Structure 1
Amino acid sequence: MIYQTTKSCLLIFVILICFSCKQKTSGVEVVEQKPNLLFIFADQYRQASLGFLKEDPVHTPNIDQLAEEGVFFSEAVANNPLCSPYRAMLITGRYSLSTGVVENCNSQRTEFGNYLKKDEICISDVLVNNGYSAGYVGKWHLDGPEPTPPDVKRVWDTWCPPDRRHGFSFWYAYGTHNRHNAPYYWSTNAKEDEKTYIKKWSAEHEADVIMDYLDNNENQRKAEEPFALFWSINPPHTPFTQVPERYKKRYEGLDYKDVLNRPNVQFTDNHELKRGDKGVEKRLNQAKDYFASVNGVDDQIGRVIQKLKEKGLYENTIIVFSADHGEMLGSQGLMHKNVWFKEAYRIPLIVHYPKKIKPKTEDLLISVPDYMPTLLGLMNLKTEIPDAVEGVDYSNLFFDKEVNRPKKQLYFGGKSFASKGDARGFRTKDYTYAVVKGEHNEKFHYLYHDAKDPCQMTNIWGENPELDKKMETELAELLNSMNDPW
């Protein structure tokens, strides 16, 4: 009897202790773990080359998986579809006129301020100030080489000194080059004359570097801090032919006309034939290599994702996939970028974070300067968005909350220094409109009803004067709101 009483009292005592501990624990504020960020952008990767869209003949299972599990922004564009302008907008949250980076950085544009300024507050600065270890791998292309006169061959690549890296404490990058099969890099502590030369496909080597970064065996980052890693992959940028043979095999036996399946591709009578070996017809036969590069980029992204999973970092890492612009590949009789046609203008944008956000396709007319504030909002850093940011924080849409949806996306074609003429325009859900200034200030108008003509086969400018006037007025209002003197 005494034994039973003692046993019962002991049981009640244990229950009371457990209840007391539970009550105390519930009163303790639980600090939520900060998410990591892996922002991947591939150079010259057009939206049509996302495999799940079933447009280009590509194989991208890893990127497709990110889209299936994340938020795919179906209407994302590169507002200024060139490498350097995109990068400046991405990292500062500001448009090209504000950053001063309106064209690609090279030595003939440096004197005009066409480079990322030291006093800009970049997303990396904000993240480092809020407890992140920041790293950058791959192509940078935001610094201005020493100026050269117009009659001297322009210089494209340049070393980025540590005081211009905007908080990136891990650095494995170069300014700009197109040596996909034999790249070189400057590492974190390397001096200007201390390049590291590699004999490996750049995307594959960079994946190796990132996997080492995630292992952190050599203290590339502070283990106690979350990381923010930006990976700029140069392929599928030109030269398209510099891609491993194993990725080319998928297209063996096919002609380039077999893979270029868009109805607006022109195989003859192209606009760039006067440029000789850079003409469209001289490059179209490399289309298979472009798509092979896309497949290879996806493969390397898959390796990095697998490493995130192995390290237990996958669930708490926001993975973003995007591109600085697209590639025309013969559409409209053009090659490459810097035009308003959708092959160059539309880009991938996928945000993957299943721990917090549900998968969906989002048709927001998002612009590149919106990326920085939106990501900071998603990372619980809304109050840290710099006042100078011109983009909008749309992070509420990840949680199905209302946002003020924009009606337009700016198109900016800047040729303000080294060449004459430039272009402006905008895109809505239904239309794409652009105006190009010629060398003598004459204007050429391009208007496409995308909702009815998705491949932009017919320029309808001049068919409806009322619509033409509406477009001109809205463009003027947009540019005036941005203090654009154009």
Structure 2
Amino acid sequence: MILRKITLYLFFSVLVTSSGHLQAQNKQKKPNIIFMLSDDHAYQAISAYGTGLNETPNIDRLADEGAIFTRATVTNSICAPSRAVILTGKHSFINGKVDNIQPFDWDQDNFAKLLQQAGYNTAMIGKIHLDGLPQGFDFSMVLPGQGNYYNPDFIVNGEMKRFEGYVTDITTEYALKWLEEERDPEKPFMLIYNQKAPHRNWQPAPEYLTLYDDVTFPMPSNFYDDYSNRGRAAKEQEMQIDGHADWGIDFKLKEDPDGKPTLMLNYLKRFNEQQLKDWDAAYEPKNKAFLEAKLEGKELAEWKYNTYIKDYLRTIKSVDDGVGELLDYLEENGLAENTIVIYSSDQGFYLGEHGWFDKRFMYEESFRTPLLMRFPKEIKPNTEISKLVQNLDFAPTLLDYAGVEVPSEMQGESFRNLANGSSQEWRDAAYYTYYEYPAVHMVKRHYGISTERYKLMHFYYDIDEWEMYDLEKDPQEMNNVYNDPEYKKVRADMHVRLKEVRAQYGDSEEMDEKYIQTFNSYMDSRK
């Protein structure tokens, strides 16, 4: 009897010990996560999307070795609200961050908090553009507001510090430093690596100041769009490259064509002596040649477009370099196999389409965002996904991979099974809202839905206009078919679907009115 008890004791001891080892192994097998987010990086400016505009070999590696999403979209195409959606998995009108002006509530759940609670070592380095100390991170080093390209300030765990150098390089350097020296190697890690670039005003790194000087980029076919057959919103915006862009901020002139000093001089005050010397050597000869040429008409428009697009693409070159450094680190340290790497942007951007820069509209170039993803354990190389994934889905997807329960209030869906090819079931319509009007660029408030083929938008507040587009026949969205008799049934179906989607997410005209009242009260309190 005693011998039997000893045998049973030993058996259960071995069983418990083995179970403990298995649990420890399973814990270690939780995937690491690197979430890379750039600011205003148009999908057109990633060579994996096949536009031929520029080369991004390091970002392309994620598509070659994993998945590229060709219809990824955002729920609100403006910086801070998009980032709030990414963190919370909730639409702007639910998480409360509907524009760049009102504060963000860090006390609500976000995916970083939940991963941290589940044992992840978490860090955020770079731009977040949400006021307040980030919650959910063991380490945070974030830019205040928009931040600066040269010699930027960072808020390091709540303390403001100045760093000498170029912001993209600094962000990459400290991301690598955290991975190499500061994270807990006994825990899975989650790093949010956010670049400022290529946000306006597109100041390139010293080594890329003259990149593309020998290139003339062709203008988009609809650069001279006259906005006919569309409503007031497209006509009344203030984001035309040839008309609204600034001589100093956007075109890097110290003096405008009338000899008046520009706002570029304010930015140059941050430069050190060598940085300013390199900058002047690159820009002053080009600017002098432009001022002497006294260009007009289409020649002037072409100069403005090329000046803009070259600086924009130069900043992306540094972003791509940084992505390569992080991917190389994972490879060299045996971490690539068990690390999910995602590259995306807080929204898309206009690179001259419709004559525009900036974003905000639900038209494709700003509604769509780049999304590339690698996870060798589950995602096959060269996977292409055309479903309507949104930035709303990042939080539940990452929690799904980590084995963490997704809170019921999160409105997104995990796209893990899309990425690994085990399912093709997905939403048939993506919902969009935009609120920040009247404001810079004067894009009117609107909401809408997009299916794979059609898009329906309602512009409201100071107007009441509807637009609908057939994306199959009119991918550039030049022809509003809302009142076209041939689309009568499609229009009716889209209205029904829009009503259903708004109800699904908890949006309504009452919510729109609530935002207007909240916005007015907040602005009054700041006077």
Fold in common (TM above 0.5)? yes
Q: Which residue does 2:191 correspond to in 1?
A: 229
Contact conserved, 1:41 with 1:323, CA < 8 A, in 2?
Answer: yes
1:115 matched to 2:104 = yes
Code of the aligned partner of 1:346: R
Identity %: 27
RMSD over aligned CA atoms reads 2.7
1:304 matched to 2:326 = yes
SS at match of 1:58: coil
Matches within 5 A, 1:249-328: 249-255=210-216, 258-260=217-219, 262-266=220-224, 272=238, 275=244, 277=246, 284=305, 285-328=307-350
Contact conserved, 1:213 with 1:221, CA < 8 A, in 2?
Answer: yes
2: distance between equivalents of 1:182 and 1:455?
Answer: 39
Contact conserved, 1:56 with 1:259, CA < 8 A, in 2?
Answer: no
Code of the aligned partner of 1:200: G
2: distance between equivalents of 1:337 and 1:420?
Answer: 9
My pick for the range that moved more, 170-179 or 279-288, is 279-288
Code of the aligned partner of 2:309: A
1:424 matched to 2:385 = no
2: distance between equivalents of 1:130 and 1:311?
Answer: 24
Q: Which residue does 2:7 correspond to in 1?
A: none
Code of the aligned partner of 2:449: F
2: distance between equivalents of 1:53 and 1:174?
Answer: 29
1: distance between equivalents of 2:221 and 2:89?
Answer: 35
* Residue among 474, 495, 501 paired with 1:478: 501
Contact conserved, 2:147 with 2:153, CA < 8 A, in 1?
Answer: no
1:402 matched to 2:364 = no
Contact conserved, 2:124 with 2:137, CA < 8 A, in 1?
Answer: yes
Change (3 A) 1:393 1:267: closer
Change (3 A) 1:26 1:293: same
C-alpha displacement at 1:264, in angstroms? 2.3
Change (3 A) 1:259 1:225: farther
2: distance between equivalents of 1:420 and 1:254?
Answer: 32
* Residue among 132, 152, 174 paired with 1:209: 174
Contact conserved, 1:45 with 1:325, CA < 8 A, in 2?
Answer: yes
Code of the aligned partner of 2:505: M
2: distance between equivalents of 1:81 and 1:283?
Answer: 24
SS at match of 1:369: helix
Matches within 5 A, 1:300-379: 300-359=322-381, 360-379=383-402
C-alpha displacement at 1:259, in angstroms? 4.4
1:382-441 per-residue CA deviation (whole Å, 9 max, x = no partner) reads xx21121111123223333235311011121113787895101111111222111151xx
Change (3 A) 1:212 1:443: same
Question: What TM-score do you get using the length of structure 2 for normalisation?
Answer: 0.74
Contact conserved, 1:133 with 1:169, CA < 8 A, in 2?
Answer: yes
Contact conserved, 2:152 with 2:163, CA < 8 A, in 1?
Answer: yes
1:391 matched to 2:387 = no
1: distance between equivalents of 2:41 and 2:218?
Answer: 16
Q: Which residue does 2:115 correspond to in 1?
A: 127
Change (3 A) 1:460 1:36: same
C-alpha displacement at 1:275, in angstroms? 4.6
SS at match of 2:366: helix
Contact conserved, 1:266 with 1:330, CA < 8 A, in 2?
Answer: no
Contact conserved, 1:263 with 1:455, CA < 8 A, in 2?
Answer: no
Code of the aligned partner of 1:247: Y
C-alpha displacement at 1:276, in angstroms? 6.8
Code of the aligned partner of 1:410: Y
2: distance between equivalents of 1:350 and 1:46?
Answer: 13
Code of the aligned partner of 1:243: P
C-alpha displacement at 1:56, in angstroms? 4.7
My pick for the range that moved more, 71-80 or 397-406, is 397-406
Q: Structure 2: 5+ residue runs without aligned partners?
A: 1-13, 228-234, 252-300, 510-527
Change (3 A) 1:295 1:276: closer
Contact conserved, 2:361 with 2:443, CA < 8 A, in 1?
Answer: no
2: distance between equivalents of 1:329 and 1:477?
Answer: 33
1:84 matched to 2:80 = yes
Change (3 A) 1:420 1:447: closer
2: distance between equivalents of 1:178 and 1:199?
Answer: 13
Code of the aligned partner of 1:116: D
Contact conserved, 2:360 with 2:443, CA < 8 A, in 1?
Answer: no
2: distance between equivalents of 1:200 and 1:188?
Answer: 20
1:62 matched to 2:62 = no
Aligned residues: 422
Contact conserved, 2:225 with 2:354, CA < 8 A, in 1?
Answer: no
1: distance between equivalents of 2:443 and 2:471?
Answer: 29
C-alpha displacement at 1:141, in angstroms? 1.4
Q: Which residue does 2:124 correspond to in 1?
A: 136
C-alpha displacement at 1:477, in angstroms? 2.5
C-alpha displacement at 1:474, in angstroms? 2.4
1:260-291 per-residue CA deviation (whole Å, 9 max, x = no partner) reads 3x322238998536757389959633111111
* Residue among 36, 41, 45 paired with 1:40: 36
Contact conserved, 2:144 with 2:153, CA < 8 A, in 1?
Answer: no
* Residue among 95, 105, 117 paired with 1:99: 95
Question: What TM-score do you get using the length of structure 1 for normalisation?
Answer: 0.80
1:452 matched to 2:447 = no
Contact conserved, 2:125 with 2:142, CA < 8 A, in 1?
Answer: yes
Change (3 A) 1:478 1:296: same
C-alpha displacement at 1:129, in angstroms? 0.8
* Residue among 208, 211, 214 paired with 1:247: 208
My pick for the range that moved more, 357-366 or 82-91, is 357-366
Contact conserved, 1:137 with 1:232, CA < 8 A, in 2?
Answer: yes
SS at match of 2:507: coil
1:289-329 per-residue CA deviation (whole Å, 9 max, x = no partner) reads 11122222111111121122222222221111000011112
